[in-house]
């Protein structure tokens, strides 16, 4: 399958994030995509294709224009205030505050449009995030044009980003943008399967009220695992979207059997939805060796995962999300694509 990639993702290079009271080097680093790219090339899993450039309209179909305008100008604003280091959110409105008045202060607006401090905004973050969405849209277009599958090697990841918020290393929700592009291209129904260790809180909130985009997420139980505040089993959609959102939270420490049991439930929901296309939010931070996550999937399970996804028999768009065991993520992603193909 074609692999959409650009080395320009390196423009997003966060320096530090907080970890147990200390600033530590960011886990979400450029080397991640480089290792994945290298493994896919080494295993000859497809042609590497440069993305096209898309107008912002496709992104505005899922993100608020004022949020995108903020992101687009954020670094220049921050730099004009005399800053050279990353902008890290540090103040947020919470329950009971007014959330709709955009403050003038840069750091207040950064807080308004974010939900954690772990997502530094750097000089090249907007360019890389926009490129990540262009990669997702390019891969989506390949499938809309008749390909069975495509892989979007987007970085930074996207599934924690909502219509007007960033967080969890994510700025633009690449999977949501691609799913919406399928709908706008005439698809009646799309399914998003999110296999990243962390609940796709951004994707869920974007489609929560809609029956056309089914969301299925297998993840660490939010009672103990990031992003904590969303991803419980009783979140099943609202209004017209009631019944079109399912979460499969699993306890930290869960292994292969528990994971694939949840996968089977998600797979039957997807089959019942009869979608025109499947978008897979592919995080490999479920791996036993992942430094920030607590599932225990072994390396061979990624072959099985690819095989199980292929068995759904749908046009399939893989979009890269998390995975932080940098040396192994390339091989694990390659295994998913190999399992899908073979």
Q: Which residues sit at the interface with ligand Q9C, rule CB under 6 A?
A: 17, 19, 118, 157, 160, 168-170, 196, 198, 226, 283, 285, 292, 321-322
Catalytic residue among 160, 198, 199, 219: 160
285 binds Zn ion (CB under 5 A): yes
CB of 155 within 8 A of CB of 12? yes
Nearer to ligand Q9C, 315 or 323 (CB): 323
28 binds Zn ion (CB under 5 A): no
Q: Where are the alpha helices (DSSP H) in 155-300?
A: 174-184, 201-207, 256-273
188 is catalytic: no
Structure tokens at 227: 């992003």
Site for Zn ion in 140-199 (CB under 5 A): 196-198
263 binds Zn ion (CB under 5 A): no
Query: For residues 285 and 297, what is the distance between their CA atoms, to the nearest angstrom?
Result: 9
Nearer to ligand Q9C, 132 or 157 (CB): 157
Q: Quick one: which segment of 14-22, 65-73, 176-184, 315-323 binds Zn ion (CB under 5 A)?
A: 315-323
Min separation Cβ 175 and ligand Q9C, Å:
11
CB of 149 within 8 A of CB of 143? yes
Nearer to Zn ion, 107 or 292 (CB): 292
For the beta sheet containing 2-4, the strands, ordered from the edge strand earlier in sequence to the opposite edge, are 48-49, 2-4, 149-152, 316-320, 277-282, 190-194, 213-220, 245-250
Min separation Cβ 121 and ligand Q9C, Å:
15
Query: For residues 145 and 322, what is the distance between their CA atoms, to the nearest angstrom?
Result: 27
Give the CB-side neighbour count of residue 28, counting CA atoms within 13 A. Answer: 28
Nearer to ligand Q9C, 156 or 237 (CB): 156
225 binds Zn ion (CB under 5 A): no
| Residue numbers annotated as active site | 160
């Amino acid at each position: 399958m074609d692999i959409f990639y650009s080395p320009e993702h390196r423009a997003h290079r966060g320096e530090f994030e907080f970890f147990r009271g200390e600033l530590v080097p960011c886990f979400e680093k450029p080397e991640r995509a480089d290792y994945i790219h290298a493994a896919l090339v080494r295993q000859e899993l497809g042609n590497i294709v440069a993305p096209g450039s898309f107008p912002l309209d496709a992104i505005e179909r899922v993100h608020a224009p004022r949020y995108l305008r903020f992101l687009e100008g954020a670094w220049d604003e921050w730099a004009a205030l005399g800053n050279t280091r990353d902008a890290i959110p540090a103040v947020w409105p919470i329950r009971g505050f007014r959330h709709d008045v955009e403050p003038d202060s840069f750091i207040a607006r950064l807080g308004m449009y974010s939900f954690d401090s772990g997502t530094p905004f750097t000089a090249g973050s907007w360019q890389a995030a926009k490129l990540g969405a262009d990669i997702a849209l390019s891969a989506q277009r390949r499938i809309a044009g008749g390909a069975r599958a495509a892989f979007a090697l987007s970085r930074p990841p996207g599934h924690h980003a909502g219509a007007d918020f960033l967080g969890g290393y994510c700025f633009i929700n690449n999977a949501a943008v691609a799913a919406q592009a399928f709908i706008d291209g005439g698809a009646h129904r799309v399914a998003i399967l999110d296999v990243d260790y962390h609940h796709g809180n951004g994707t869920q909130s974007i489609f929560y009220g809609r029956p056309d985009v089914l969301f299925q997420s297998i993840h660490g139980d939010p009672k103990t695992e990031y992003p904590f505040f969303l991803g419980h089993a009783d979140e099943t959609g609202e209004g017209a979207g009631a019944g079109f959102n399912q979460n499969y939270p699993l306890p930290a420490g869960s292994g292969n059997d528990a994971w694939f049991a949840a996968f089977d439930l998600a797979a039957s929901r997807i089959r019942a939805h009869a979608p025109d296309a499947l978008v897979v939010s592919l995080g490999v931070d479920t791996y036993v060796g992942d430094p920030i996550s607590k599932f225990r999937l072994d390396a061979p399970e990624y072959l099985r995962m690819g095989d199980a996804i292929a068995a759904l028999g749908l046009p399939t768009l893989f979009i890269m999300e998390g995975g932080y065991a940098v040396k192994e993520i390339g091989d694990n992603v390659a295994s998913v694509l190999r399992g899908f193909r073979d």
